[in-house]
Structures are given as C-alpha cells and as structure tokens.
Amino acid sequence: MVAGQVTRHLRPVFAGRNQRRSALCLAVVCKRGLTTPATAPSPSPAAESLPADPVPADPVPDEPQRWRPHPAPAARRPRLERLRNEANPRGISSFLTDNYARQHNYLRISVTERCNLRCLYCMPEEGIQLSPSANILTTPEIVYLSSVFVDQGVDKIRLTGGEPTVRKDIVSLMQQLGQLRQNGLKELCITSNGISLHRKLDAMVQAGLTAVNLSLDTLDPFQFTLMTRRNGHEAVMKSIRRILDMNKAGAGVKLKINCVVMRGLNEREILPFVDMTRDKDLEIRFIEYMPFDGNKWAEKKMITYQEMLAIIRDTYPDVHRVLDHPNDTSKTFKIPGFAGRIGFITSMTENFCGTCNRLRITSDGNLKVCLFGNSEVSLRDILRESNDGKPIDQDAMDALNQLETNRQHAGSGSPGEQKLLQVIGMAVKRKKEKHAGIGELENMKNRPMILIASLTHLTASGAAHMVSISSKQASARSARATTTLRFSRPDTLAALTAATLKKGDAIAVARIAGITAAKKTADLIPLAHPGLAITGVEDY
C-alpha cells in the first residue's frame, strides 16, 4: 500500500428476494473497513502543528498496550481536538431525520448482553436469559453497520452493553471503528462499569477513544457490593485514576461518572460525589432512577433532580448552571473554583426528547429509536439475508472481496444497503415526539436495562411476544385495506358520482387512506415485525 493512501473497503451487497443463494458463493460482500486497516488520514490544517500520536505497528487484538503521551502536551485536550477536526463536517441524511426535524448523529451500539456486575436498577434479581451467540452481532457486522450510519452523517459512536469490556475482541473492534474517522466519525466513546477497563484503556486510547462514561453509584466499597451484588470497587477507582493520569499527559479523554440515585439507598452520597469535582477534571452526572423490566421501579424510590440540586445548594449555594450543548442529555452545573462539573439526567421529570439525536443498536442487531420505547426493527436480519441467515464472520468478508471487485467492474449496485437505509429511515420517521410519562412508563413493557444497549406468539407462561425471524427464508406477503364511505344524505352519492361535490373528491381521499393503511401494515397488525417490506400497493 502506498504511504498515506486511504483505501475504500468493501461493503455487503445483498441478493434480491427471488435470487438463489448458495453457501459457497455468498452474495454478501463487504465494501467497507472490515479487513485491512486503512492508513491514517492527513491531518487538517488546524491540526498540522500538533504532535502526532504514536502509531502502534500491527497491534495484536486485546494485547495490553501502553499509551504514550506527547513529549510536550499542549494546554488543553490537543489530541481530542485534533480527532474531532480530522474529517470535514457532513450533513445529516434524510434517513436519519425524523418527522420533528430531529437529526440523529449519535449512535449507541450494545456490543454484548453480558456483564460482570448485577446492579439493582439494571439486572433483574432472577437474572436474564442470554441470547444464543449466533444472534449477537459479529464484529464485521458492527463495523459495517457503523460505517453505514457514519456515511449518513453519524459523527459520534458509543459502545455500550451489558459491559462492553467483557467482549473478547473489544479492543480490535475499537481499532476498526477508529478507522471510520476518515469517513466523518469524530467521537468514539465507551460506557463501562470500570471493573476491567483499566487493563484495556491504553490500547483503546491508541485506537482513538475520546470519552468514557463510567458507572459508579457509591464511593463506599461495602455499599458498592450491596448495589452491584459483586465486589470490585477498587478496580473501578483504579480505572478512574488511570484516565485522570493519562489526561494529565495529554490524552484528552472526557471522563463522566454516572451515578443513579435511589431514595433510601445512596442519596447520602450526593455530596461526596460532588466533592470529587473539587480538584478533578471530570463530570459527575446524577441520574433519576428509571423504570425497566425487572428492576422493581417505584416512583417513591426516585429522587428528582430538583431534590438533588437542593441538597447540593444547601452546602454549595453558589452552584450555577452552565451552557449546555443543544443535544446534551444532562443539565450541567459548576461550583466556582472547582475543577470539574456536575450534571443531572432528568429523563423522568424533565425529558430532553425535543433535542434527542440518539439511535441505538442492541447487541442482537435491533434498531431502537427511543430508549423508553418498545418499538424495534432488526437490522441484523436484513444484513444476513444473503448469507442464509447466518452470522457474517471475518473469513466470509475476506473471501468475498474479489467478488465485490467483479461486481464493481460490472456496474452492479448495492441493493442491500438501500434496503437497510429504507428500514432505518422508516423507523426514524416513526419516532414519537416524546416518550411516555412516569405513570405510563412504569407499566409499559420494555427490555431490562442490561439488554437495551433481544427480539422480544406466546411464551411458556402464555405471554405474547415477537419471535425472531433471523433464520427464516424470505416469503411473499400481501395486505389489503378496505375503506368505507358513509353518507348522511342520499343525494351525496349522486353528487360524488357526478363529481359535483363541493368538498372535493371523497373517493380519491378514501383511496389515499387505503394506500396509507396498507403501507402501515407492520404498525397495524399485532406482533408483525417493524419495517415489514411492502413492495407495492394495488388500488381496487
């Protein structure tokens, strides 16, 4: 490869509905950065004077690597600023813009359902049933989907879980996602409980990690064991210290600590958390306790942000609000003279739906447009259509590179990506203006928190749920909608037939209503899969 050359990698191309498929000759071909790492792009003019980060030579996935600071780091976040400004800004495509003009440039990807903690508000006490490993997105699939979203305008990706660091190839995955900076990605973030983060942090920063959200609900080791049902408090603190030390050397990794506050459990620790910001450049974010399946949520357990702020003001009366970014989920405050900041995520009392710019992909490949919504659409099933519903691993991607080259020479397009974009666009357009209120959320069916970040006819207990169709062959379906016109006066029909009705052509309006209903088949039929493809609507 010529030095400095930026390669365009292969992306999957999907066969049509009626095309024969063969396990030996797959129609899925990767056109994106899933195999050979691309070389780093040239720095922008604004960053040319900054020292470059060391580039590791052929890193071994998940092998511990030591992050090396700049010899003479600049005053504030030089690395972070450079990473954010490497690629030219691009607009948000219509596929990522909903009916309320909200543009979604932030993608959260759950890379695993597994976790090494059992937090009270996240994991049901009885545990969860994990999905079969074949249902979980593979690394090539995650990178491909990420590249699709980046091409449409996403410039921030966050890896979540479960606990993302328990995924064996998390470092390799982050290295591949870091290459998407050449396509427009600016921020690569992770949300972690910090238990094993410190062991992989250096390699992640080398790969382009720009921000860490670390979950910690108590500073008391004994309380930590109570709330998480596991030991590990010191390991979390070690991760925090490592990030702060790296930042002193110029790493520029934004650190936010997320603390879920529950009445009768940890509200007395609000002030000790605030004191952490006195001499540490980090942000403590207090989160209102939210309802998810299995976490036994009750409104009386929730402490509102106003209550938490009042507790802080009793000790620090000069705490004041600072300017937030338009898409921030938290209300940010600062105490004069303190190095850090505090924030409040007020999902329950003052939602931020009006400026929401986030989309989520679950670990089993479902697109979730709202954290509190129960509507999901499977991107994984579309992605695997031409692979007989089987997971797409790296070997399959590598073997198909030449096939894609042949398709490009033949002038073939990429119908699979277009189908993905259409399904994504339909899901985004169906996003509601705001999520339900407290009373509705408490009784609404949703995933356990640990699974948000599996596709939910009858279970063994008789409950209705939506079955997975990942291994089902493509089939044809037809839908028919009937519209009925009712008249209060008999002469109306005569006027309508003679086209003399003053209020317009009611028959044409009825036809449009029928077509609209047919197009919303997936929404109107209980347990139909979201994004059910409608290839045509006939008017009879």
Residue 408 counted as domain residue: no
| Residue-wise pLDDT tens digits, 8-43 | 343 433 333 333 333 323 333 344 444 434 433 444
**In whole angstroms, what is the distance from residue 292 CA to residue 450 CA?**
9
pLDDT digits 0-9 by tens, 47-74: 333 334 444 444 444 445 667 765 544 4
Buried b / exposed e across 9-35, counting CB within 10 Å, b at 16+?
A: bbbbbbbeeeeebeeeebbbbbbbbbb
Closest-CA residue to 160 (of 368, 393, 428): 368
Q: What's the pLDDT tens digit per position in 346-380?
A: 877 877 688 899 999 999 999 999 876 778 999 99
- pLDDT at res. 528: 65
Asked if residue 9 lies in contact with residue 150, where contact means CB atoms within 8 angstroms, the answer is no
* 470 domain-assigned: no
In a domain, 262, yes or no: no
Phi, psi for 125 (deg, rounded to 5): -60, -35
Average pLDDT over residues 288-296: 60
Instruction: Give me the residue label for tokens 């070997």.
Output: 395
- pLDDT tier at 82, thresholds 50, 70, 90: low
The residue ranking higher by pLDDT, 280 or 121, is: 280
Q: Which residue has the higher pLDDT, 298 or 278?
A: 278
Q: Is residue 512 part of a domain?
A: yes
| CA–CA separation, 294 and 334 (whole Å) | 35
Domain residue limits at 497: 476-540
| Dihedral angle sign, alpha carbons of residues 275, 281, 286, 290 | negative
- Condensed to tens digits (0 to 9), the pLDDT of residues 301-310 reads 789 999 999 9
For residue range 443-491, list pLDDT tens digits in order. 445 444 445 443 344 443 444 545 555 445 555 666 667 777 787 787 8
DSSP string, 472-515: PPP-------------SSTHHHHHHHTT--TT--HHHHHHHHHH
Asked if residue 256 is part of any domain, the answer here is no
Beta carbons of 412 and 13 less than 8 angstroms apart: yes
Instruction: Tell me whether residue 520 is in a domain.
Output: yes
Residue 9 within a domain: no
> Which of 77-91, 229-243, 318-332, 463-477 has the lowest average pLDDT?
463-477
Phi, psi of 285, deg, nearest 5: -115, 115
| 30 within a domain of the structure (yes/no) | no
The number of distinct structural domains making up the chain is: 1
Reported pTM: 0.69
Amino acid at position 488, single letter: S
Strand partners, 261: 288
